[in-house]
Amino acid sequence: MTKKTLSRRGFLKAAAGTGAIVAFPRFCAARILGRDGYVAPSERIVLGGIGINHRGMYVLGFMLPEKDVRFAAICDVRADRRQAVKGVADARNGDKDCATYRDLRELLARDDIDAVLIATGDRWHTMASILAARAGKDVYSEKPCAITMAQCGALADTIRRYGRIFQAGTQRRNVANFRFAVDLARSGKLGRLRALHASIYDLGVRHDWLPAEPEPPRDVVDWDLWLGPAPWRPYNGQYVGGAWRGHFDFDSGAKLHDWGAHTVDLCQWANDADGTAPVEYEPDGGTIYARYASGVRLVMRPQGWLGLGTCPVRFEGEEGWVETGDTGRIEAEPASLLSGWANIREDGISPVRHVRDFLDCVKSRARPATDADIARSSHVACHAAAIAWQLGRKLTFDPAKEEFIGDEEANRMRSRPMREPWRM
């Protein structure tokens, strides 16, 4: 390793592997040696956060208790959020050392940070993840990881190019009941698959602007950085408070990714379709019917579920079906399909296993449950469906090229311009 790239963890491991003599005090505290339940500094993951509020605070609440994590820095364009997260981190760390930043580029410039939790609004997920990967950081990003097809590809390509670990916040791949249902489909116990059902929100999109309000001081809310790569518009405090959702400029369009990022992803997994997507998309009111090249149907619908909790999915084969949701309950026909189910009741919203999977992969460099390539294909399927719904017509799609066949208007909707100076 060169002096420029040698990290603290790398130095300690290299010294141990070569037998190099490192001067230590004669008596070392247990926390330094990793004894008595402490984690040695060489094995600790130094974490930073970008845009932590609501869901971000919830996920951070599962990261902070992990013994091998130290949360060292928070970046947020809002001063109140910076201070709130710093207070939580300092209480956990037992000191006042959690640094605060308004600009994510300053946080990412720190050599000591190994990984970042990105939980900004949707418009920032791809750009922040790409900047983090270029800075040598591993990334846990909330979904949707990208608000256009073009961003999906740029994100996955960048993560691969820089050799980083990336975990999309689609945590249900690590929740027991969803895993069991997927295994029934993948193992052939349902027979040949016929249809996959993914729950989605009631679809909708807004192109209006909220009324202009006086812009606050930059150190209170940096409106320019809040907008980031999204098109400029006048400040309104409701955006910052969360009312950006549903506005086309700020999210993935049609709100399909809010749940579809989870449920379509699970259907992709159940169908062994990671790396590809359906080839046809046809909207019918609030439901979108898609078809894979194999003939398996994917139905994205907001209603008609068995009441097993939010984010339900249903897999149907020639010999049976299974449906499950966030309550952890599973229904199946025939009932004998559940004979191997341990009845593990986990909250599908909880990222506890997903977080641990990410942290373990940061150390091992193994592939996490929902890496950037997996997220790419499931997000692309959602984007294709959303575009079909917005155009109100059936579309044919080439998953290998990630483009629509014979529809230039649809193809133009695969990307959006990004505001200066942000470029993928």
> Is the pLDDT confidence value at 17 over 80?
no
CA distances to 57, 255, 265, 367, 379 from 373, in Å: 26, 22, 12, 10, 10
Domain boundaries, the chain: 13-170, 172-204+253-412
What is the structure's pLDDT at 39? 77
Best CA proximity match to 140, nearest among 166, 113, 114: 166
> What are the C-alpha distances in Å from 163 to residues 135, 137, 159, 233, 372?
11, 10, 6, 36, 11
Q: Look at 25-34, 265-274, 329-338, 369-378 and tell me which has the smallest mean pLDDT.
A: 25-34
- The confidence score (pLDDT) of residue 253 equals 82
Structure tokens at 178: 């969803």
Calculate what percentage of the chain has a pLDDT beyond 70. 91
3-state secondary structure of 114: coil
Amino acid in the structure at residue 31: R
Q: Is 29's pLDDT higher than 90? A: no
How high is the pLDDT of residue 14?
45
Q: What tens digit of pLDDT does each residue of 92-125 get?
A: 999 999 999 999 999 999 999 999 999 999 999 9
Q: What is the tens place of the pLDDT at every residue in 131-166?
A: 999 999 999 999 999 999 999 999 999 999 999 999
Quote the percentage of the chain above a pLDDT of 90.
88
Q: What is the pLDDT of residue 38?
A: 67
Instruction: Check: pTM over 0.85? Answer yes or no.
Output: yes
Chain centroid, CA 258 distance in Å: 11
The residue ranking higher by pLDDT, 52 or 25, is 52
Query: Rounded to an integer, what distance in angstroms lies between the CA atom of residue 397 and that of residue 180?
Result: 30
At 41, give phi and psi (nearest 5°). -55, -35
The more confidently predicted of residues 33 and 400 is: 400
Instruction: Select from 389, 384, 386 the least CA-distant residue to 399.
Output: 384
The architecture of the domain spanning 172-204+253-412 is: 2-Layer Sandwich (3.30)
H or E element at residue 72: strand 69-75
Dist CA 116 CA 162 (whole Å):
15
Peptide bond into 312 cis (omega under 30): no
* pLDDT > 50? residue 339: yes
Residue 13, pLDDT score: 46
| Mean pLDDT confidence for 332-337 | 98
Rounded to whole angstroms, the Cα distance separating 289 from 379 reads 16
pLDDT digits (tens, 9 = 90+) for 258-287: 999 999 999 999 999 999 999 999 999 999
Report pLDDT for 36.
Answer: 55
And the tokens for 344?
A: 């593990």
Q: Indicate whether 26 pLDDT > 50.
A: no
- List % helix, strand, coil for the chain (3-state, nearest 5): 35, 15, 45
Q: Is the pLDDT of residue 27 over 70?
A: no
Q: Which of 59, 50, 57, 47 is nearest to 84 (CA)?
A: 57
pLDDT confidence of residue 18: 42
Which residues sit opposite 118 in a β-bridge?
A: 50, 141
What's the mean pLDDT when you consider all of the chain?
92
Spatial distance between the Cα atoms of 166 and 253, rounded to a whole number of angstroms: 24
- Looking at residue 11, its pLDDT comes to 38
- Only one residue has tokens 């926390």, namely 31
**Contacting residues for 330 by C-beta, under 8 A, at least 6 apart:** 177, 180, 181, 308, 322, 323, 324, 338, 341
| CA–CA dist 383, 152 (Å, integer) | 10
In this prediction, residue 42 carries a pLDDT of 79
Phi, psi of 67 (to 5 degrees): -65, -25
**What is the CATH architecture assignment of 13-170?**
3-Layer(aba) Sandwich (3.40)
Give the pLDDT band (50/70/90) at residue 230.
very high
Q: Which residues pair with 141 in a beta bridge?
A: 118, 168
pLDDT per position as a tens digit, 93-102: 999 999 999 9
Per-residue pLDDT for 30 more than 60? no
The pLDDT of residue 8 is above 50: no
Sheet holding 395-398, edge to edge: 330-333, 320-324, 313-317, 193-199, 297-301, 287-291, 280-284, 395-398, 403-404
Tell me the C-alpha distance between 214 and 199, whole Å: 40
List helix spans (H) across 201-351: 223-227, 237-238, 257-270
Q: What one-letter code names the amino acid at 271?
A: N
Domains 13-170 and 172-204+253-412 belong to one CATH topology: no
> Whole-angstrom Cα distance, residue 107 to residue 49?
9
- Tally of CB atoms within 10 A around 238: 12
- Label residues 117-142 b or e (16+ Cβ within 10 Å = b): bbbbbbbbbbbbbbbbbebebbbbbb
- Rounded to whole angstroms, the Cα distance separating 185 from 189 reads 6
Question: Which pLDDT value is given to residue 35?
Answer: 55
